[in-house]
Amino acid sequence: MIIWVTAVVVYLAAVFHRTSLGVASLQAGERFHLGPAALGTFTVLQIGVYASMQVPTGLLVDRYGARRVLTVAALLMGLGQVLFAFATSYPLGLLARAVLGVGDAMTFVSVLRLVAAHFPARRYAAVASFTAALGALGNLASTVPLSLLLDSAGWTTTFAVTGSVTALYSVVLILRVRDNPIGAVPEPVDRTESLRSVLTQVSHAWRTPGTRLGFWVHFSTMFAPAMLGLLWGFPYLVQAQGLTEPAAGLLLSLLVLGAIGGGPVVGTMISRRPEWRTPMVVGYVVAALGVWALLLGWPGGHVPLWLLVAGFAFLSLGGPASTIGFALARDYNPMRRVSTATGVVNVGGFVAITVSALAVGLLLDAAQPLGPATAFRVAFLSVVAVLVLGLWRTSVWWRRARAAVFEAASRGEDVPVRIRRRSWDLAAAA
């Protein structure tokens, strides 16, 4: 438990640093003399770096252990934030956010590897969901508390102090975190593997139907609330829906609170009934499409406040639902490949965030002459398109993963989840 708590603090810090630019965006625009498009590059760059680092991070954790990777992550996040504190030029600011993004990318996969090693398999889903929920506290800390600190202490002091504290925490990780439980015999790891064997490991993880299903689960569920919270939710509520800035900020906090409250609930449910995992995801995505249909199709374009509240509250459950993808990676891969598979799954959601955020921005620019309300309705059609793509691919790989489970069971192999054959399984086999 101490090891998990120590590691979760790093993940909380990672989420804090990842979202810290939200309340500092106006100051960043003034400090670096940037317009909205250039300012948005900070977020897109950081998300892109995060996504591109997931598979390499999984390989590093599988080869060198979570403790070493987490320690390096804390140092890189601290360095990036300190560099951001003293940066006065746009290129140096981008470099700082890129370094921060690399450190951030190395945290969650490492923490999940520790969960897989130190907790029984039946508790993995619940602990992973609770871990993600606790990480959302870092998002809360980067709102009002960080805003107050920026107002009182200023840009340089705020980011220099938070970065330095994160870097110093690496000492705690070295002293407190252990890759495996005491007395456990770790699986042998060949650290002299060739590039070809490393790529083969990634290929094996990707070809595993459970990993591929986890990728599309993560792709489908986490991107919409993250895209709203990181970039487009605030301008949509203020410009298109006419809310005041405080009201918009309060409504966006539902995305965080829903993730905090929904994480333990989803984790407990799928731990007790693992056969519910993918049906819950499909149900969520179908219902999310219904929510977007109401938000975008409401007559006149100005959505009632009660519907905005209900819609954002429901969409916030996408974060907790996305952790189902990690449970699938854990169950259908050997322990020596779990972190690689987890990294593959984690790429899914951040690819979807990047694609949807860029698409919304491009469509907004093209539709500006139509007015804010109509422009956002047009732009958010890209979100619906990404959801439909995710639902289709999740359905395809759900069926294929079920077929793989049935084949393994017929050979007398142990399977992580016992499922009953349905009529559509028989039709697919035929």
Q: What is the pLDDT of residue 391?
A: 95
CB 369 within 8 A of CB 377: no
In 3D space, the residue among 174, 69, 420, 170 whose CA is nearest the CA of residue 276 turns out to be 420
Give residue 219's region: left, alpha or beta (phi > 0; psi -120 to 50): alpha
**7-23 residues labelled b (16+ CB within 10 A) or e (exposed):** bbbbbbbbbbbbbbbbb
Q: Which pLDDT tens digit goes with each residue over 13-38?
A: 998 888 887 667 767 878 888 765 67
CB neighbour list of residue 232: distance below 8 Å, 6 or more residues apart: 357, 360, 361, 379
360 conformational bin, left if phi > 0, alpha if psi -120 to 50, beta if neither: alpha
**pLDDT, tens digit, 9 for 90 and up, residues 202-260:** 788 888 888 999 999 999 998 998 888 777 887 888 888 988 877 887 888 888 888 88
pLDDT score recorded for residue 363: 87
For the four alpha carbons of 326, 327, 332 and 337, in that order, the dihedral sign comes to positive
Q: Which of 19, 92, 40, 116 is nearest to 345 (CA)?
A: 116
| Interacting residues of 77 by C-beta distance below 8 A, sequence separation 6+ | 13, 14, 17, 100, 103, 104, 107, 163, 166, 167
Whole-angstrom distance, CA of residue 256 vs CA of residue 313: 9
Query: Does the CA dihedral 97-245-263-296 come out positive or negative?
Result: negative
Decide if pLDDT at 306 tops 90: yes
Residue 418: per-residue pLDDT = 67
Is pLDDT above 70 for 416?
no
Share of the chain above pLDDT 70, in %: 89
Q: How far apart are CA 169 and CA 332, in angstroms?
A: 33
Give the chain's count of helices (H) and strands (E): 22, 0
pLDDT tens digit sequence for 56-111: 888 888 888 889 999 999 999 999 999 999 999 999 999 999 999 999 999 988 99
- Residue 263: partners with Cβ closer than 8 Å, 6 or more residues away: 129, 130, 132, 133, 134, 136, 319, 320, 323
Q: Find the mean pLDDT for residues 176-185.
A: 74
Domains and CATH numbers, the chain: 1-176 (1.20.1250.20), 208-430 (1.20.1250.20)
- With tokens 């759900």, the residue in question is 398
Structure confidence by residue, pLDDT tens digits, 144-166: 778 788 888 888 999 999 999 99
Q: Which helix (H) or strand (E) holds 347?
A: helix 338-367
pLDDT of 135? 81
